[in-house]
Structure 1
Amino acid sequence: MHYETHCGNRIKLLFWDGQGFCLYYKVLEKGRFPWPSVADGTARLTAAQLAMLWEGIDWRRPSWTSAPTRVA
């Protein structure tokens, strides 16, 4: 995957799905994407972190909107 941001409120995601490349582009109307720190020119994210980043959620400090319920 390749990521690119511009002004912090836009993100492009280039993804190889095994048959070809998919290009995703998103602009946040409010706020900025919480971008990961880059080491050696590479940003590493888990699938869950990428999903949160794509939704504009700060994956570094996620918080529950309501506490999870316990199942007995």
Structure 2
Amino acid sequence: GRDPHGGEIFCFRGRKADMVKLLWFDGVGVSLYAKRLEAGKFVWPSSTTGEAVAISAAQLGYLLDGIDWRNPRWTQRPKKMG
């Protein structure tokens, strides 16, 4: 029931919770962004009614970094830097 051309980002998680896909309309067409975690899982907001959940830009940033946005700590620390 939401307008895909309204500037919202639609985020979907894979079945194993290690992959996330984002869809958004950038004014020209629909863009797709996909990210898979090598270790750990994406922490997903829950909905009691089964409807879409709105999150802030900061929460989306935490989600894409694999950080639990409810309690901002690393769920899986990187093994190598650089």
Normalised-by-shorter TM-score class: 0.7 to 0.9
Matched, 1:5 2:3: no
Give the distance between the partners of 2:29 and 2:58, measured in 1 at CA. Answer: 23
* Root mean square deviation of aligned Cα: 1.4
How many pairs were matched up? 63
Indicate the larger mover: 42-51 or 1-10.
1-10
Runs of 4+ in 1 over 4 A off after TM superposition: none
Q: How does 1:43-54 map onto structure 2 within 5 Å?
A: 43-54=53-64
**Cα deviation per residue 1:29-63 (whole Å; 9 max; x = unaligned)?**
00000000124420210011001101111111014
Question: Identity over aligned residues, as a percent?
Answer: 43
When normalised by structure 1's length, the TM-score is 0.76
Q: How does 1:26-65 map onto structure 2 within 5 Å?
A: 26-38=35-47, 39-63=49-73
Using the TM superposition, give the Cα deviation of residue 16 of structure 1 relative to its aligned residue in structure 2, in angstroms: 1.9
Q: Give the secondary-structure state (helix, strand or coil) at the position aligned to 1:14.
A: strand
Which residue type is aligned with residue 51 of structure 1? G
Give the distance between the partners of 2:58 and 2:24, measured in 1 at CA. Answer: 16
| Structure 1: gaps (5+ residues) | 64-72
Please name the residue that 2:4 is paired with.
none
Using the TM superposition, give the Cα deviation of residue 3 of structure 1 relative to its aligned residue in structure 2, in angstroms: 1.7
